[in-house]
Amino acid sequence: MKKVRVFNKSIYLIVALLLVLTTILSYILLNDSFALAESKELEDTVVEEKIYDKSNVEDEFDDSCVLVVIDKKNSEINKNHDDRFKLGTTIASIEDLTNISGNIVDKKYLNEENFHQILKLNLAEKSKQNVLDTIRRIEDIDGVLWAGVNGYSSFGEIEESKTSNSSNFNISSGVKESLSLLSASARASLPNAVNGSRFAQQWGLLGDYGISAPKAWMNYTMGSSSVKVGVIDTGIADHEDLDKNVVAGWDFYNDNEITNDDPIGHGTKVAGIIGASGESANGVIGVNWKVTLVPLQVVNERDRFQIDAAAKAITWAIENDIDILNYSSGGDSEYEVLKTAIGNYQGLFVCSAGNNARNVDWGVDRHYPSDYCRNVSFCDRVISVGAINSQGELCESSNFGSMAVNIFAPGYGILTTSPTYIDPSGYEETEGTSYATPFVTGVASLLYSLYKNSNFNLYDAYIAEQVKKTILFNVDYMDDERYFGKCSSGGILNAEYALEYSPLREVISGFGYTSSWYKWTGKVELLIDKPGLVYIDSMD
């Protein structure tokens, strides 16, 4: 009998369904691939919204040039843009203020991902009207994100130094107590100046509302010369309390290596607060008296910071691996060039909040570049500093703001180094947010010394972010509400707290903290002989 082969109809149905599903899946995957490619293409071709300069002929600015920021799409490190502006009778030459020399891969503070070029177009004919006319002609050129004037920022009138006789200083009880806590052996490990009368007058280090510097030094770190701080300012004069820590820098306004701070003295005073070595037996001591100080001079003949020079100084800091920049200046005008230069830099940028005695959170009262401590892509690497006096009160002149000022630090009656051509003694008492800022810079440099001596191999931009968090999360609130609503941290600078609660605490040898704040993510293998007798409480 012939056998008949019977096929189950359900098999055909299953095969058909599989074919349909395969077709649908292939279509989805293909379209997803196209969508991803299209998305990537769109991402690569995103056009940044143009920013238009609003300067007019009555404003103060350099009449010889126009500054230009190139958008991200058209920016490449050291790219030539001569053809874009077609050099002719109007534009005499073009200078790239963001030119980087050497091996780009080795530049640890270069923000390659968000890099924007900054150009300086030198005009053939000097006049304010020519500057404005040139801006109008070129601002709509493809690739130009912003074109504008080369302006200035200043110190503020209150920050003019005032010579004081040392006998006028009042040593608070807090200073006396701090000094009494230093044993003979402790003093022996500190600079010569610790035994002098001027050190006792440094209430910003020692007083009731000072930063508790001696406790930070004795318990955590005395700093390190491996940390480099760039002082964007008027230069640093020769001084016996500074010479040990100051290395060669540059004058970006005059384009030479002379950075001797003549005739202002502002940068010398700032540098003394950050890192005076205390070499002189009756000198002063900086917050980090072992730090390396680099003078980055940007002041013009009218004693103001010039914006193009500041941009070049920041680029130089990128080229030379400067860890922290101190910028004790600012103003009401926002310059896109300065904002761009800071964004290109991945180190820590510490700046003064200004001396206008106003809330700088809103509108026309905002202060720059300190406002970049918020609401910009690089704000986690910018600290804005206001000033207090020895009684813990806000200085009358200091700006404040719950968002635009991060922290307060000593800024009134501050004894620091001064050029001898300003004061023959070599020391002055001074005031203003310019001098509160270097206290924060000094503490930041102490924290950097911990990171540099660790074995965690953290990214440098990440270190800047963590140092800012550490400083702001560990302020001194002084058990009252006087700083609440006045700054984002709600308190005043405290070096001891910041160093004590730094996330770089090696609790277990070979293990450490990673990207989560204060969260340890290491592993420990346990061999338990009697599991029934062990209870493990797991904590997040």
For residue 188, give the H/E element and its range: helix 184-188
Which is catalytic among the residues 62, 96, 233, 371?
A: 233
Query: 298 — alpha (psi -120 to 50), left (phi > 0) or beta?
Result: alpha
Gyration radius of the chain over CA positions: 29
Only one residue has tokens 């000198």, namely 283
193 Cβ contact list (under 8 Å, min separation 6) = 199, 241, 276, 278, 279, 280, 281, 282, 283, 284, 285
| 3-class DSSP assignment, residue 388 | strand
Which is catalytic among the residues 266, 308, 390, 397?
A: 266
Known active-site residue 53: no
Convert 267-327 into a string of H (helix), E (strand) and C (coil): HHHHHHHHHCECCCCCCCECCCCCCEEEEEECECCCCCEEHHHHHHHHHHHHHCCCCEEEE
CA distance 498 to 162: 31
266 Cβ contact list (under 8 Å, min separation 6) = 155, 159, 161, 233, 234, 299, 328, 434
Which is catalytic among the residues 161, 329, 352, 434?
A: 434
Known active-site residue 370: no
Neighbours of 425 (CB within 10 A): 13
Cβ atoms of 82 and 109 within 8 Å: the answer is: no
Known active-site residue 239: no
Q: Is 509 exposed, middle or buried (0-12, 13-18, 19+ CB in 10 A)?
A: exposed
Among all residues, which ones are annotated catalytic?
233, 266, 434
